[in-house]
Amino acid sequence: MSNTMHFADVGELEQMSKLIPGRADVAMILGSGLGAFADSLTHAKSISTTEIPGYPKSTVAGHAGKIVCGTLGGVRVLAFQGRIHMYEGYTPAQVALPVRLAHAAGATVLVVTNACGGASKRFAAGDLMLIDDHINFQFRNPLRGPQIAGEARWPDMSNCYDEELKQMAERTALELGIRLKRGTLAAVLGPTYETPAEVAMLRGYGADGVCMSTVPEVIAAAALGMRVLGISCVTNAAAGVTSAKLNHDEVQAVAGRAAAQLWSLASGVIGQIK
């Protein structure tokens, strides 16, 4: 793998994708505490990311470092258990590698999930937020550098979260009795949680939730022409919204408790994708 992690030769990506145990229609990137979703796929086959030469190792608790290929309602799904974060020292291009691999394996739809802090009082811990748009406060972009063959140089981001998929998610949530509200996600570098002043600033810019992931993956998906559905699990009130202290163990615990609803919602939507 090249040191730049920019894969100008798509042949390298295709060779890496051949190690994935199956083709896919839909790819899923699973956030903190949400990896158990992949265990519910039928006819599942998995591979450790350590078996793919050059694949970045996830070092964060709650991220298993596995790629699982299976089916859900007749739809072929490729699930990544073990998100890669820039705060682990990786480049934006490395963070976006799962998306590029999934696309090389045939996926045309990307479902991204994450744990986020609630910057808006509209959301409480355990709520699910349908990502309507994002703000890139990571100030990094996986498309920077040599253009990768097959990717748009200047992708349109005005509808990077697919409206049809969002409406599908809202209908599914209504049918299942799941509370789901749209919101704007702000992404920061981490690994520190935000200060109360930073949260107030982000809220002033229109952010409802704050995370340390997701945006690089969505940018790469937009460049590849993939349709994207994003769902955040609000695991805590962000700093300054309440006086509660923040810790990653609680993030994982709340995400784990919300996983059943997220599974029902995501599987309901995926089952409708044609």
DSSP 86-114: GGGT--HHHHTHHHHHHHHTT--EEEEEE
pLDDT for 262: 86
Length reported for the chain? 274
Q: Is 236 a catalytic residue?
A: yes
d(CA 166, CA 158): 14
Peptide bond into 191 cis (omega under 30): yes
**Which member of 5, 27, 115, 259 is catalytic?**
115
**Is 120 assigned a catalytic role?**
no
- Catalytic one of 16, 38, 55, 63: 63
Q: Is 63 a catalytic residue?
A: yes
pTM, full prediction: 0.89
Angle between helices 97-104 and 10-17 (to 10 degrees): 80
pLDDT by 10s per residue, the chain, length 274: 444 444 445 677 878 888 888 899 999 998 766 667 777 888 999 999 889 888 888 776 555 688 999 998 889 999 998 889 999 999 999 999 999 999 999 999 999 999 898 888 898 888 999 999 999 999 999 999 989 889 999 999 999 999 999 999 999 999 999 999 999 999 999 999 889 899 999 999 999 999 999 999 999 999 999 999 999 989 876 554 555 665 666 666 766 767 788 888 999 999 998 7
Predicted pLDDT of residue 250: 66
Active-site residue, selected from the candidate residues 213, 222, 226, 255: 213
Decide if 89 contacts 105 (C-beta within 8 A): no
212 annotated active-site: yes
What is the CATH code of the structural domain delimited by 10-270? 3.40.50.1580
Catalytic entry in 85, 169, 198, 238: 85
Active site residue 87: yes
68-86 as b/e: b if 16+ CB within 10 A = bbbbbeebbbbbbbbbbbb
From residue 146, alpha-carbon distances to 89, 95, 122, 198, 215 in Å are: 21, 16, 41, 33, 20
| Active-site residue, selected from the candidate residues 1, 40, 44, 88 | 88
Task: Supply the pLDDT for residue 8.
Answer: 45
Name the catalytic one among 236, 237, 258, 266.
236
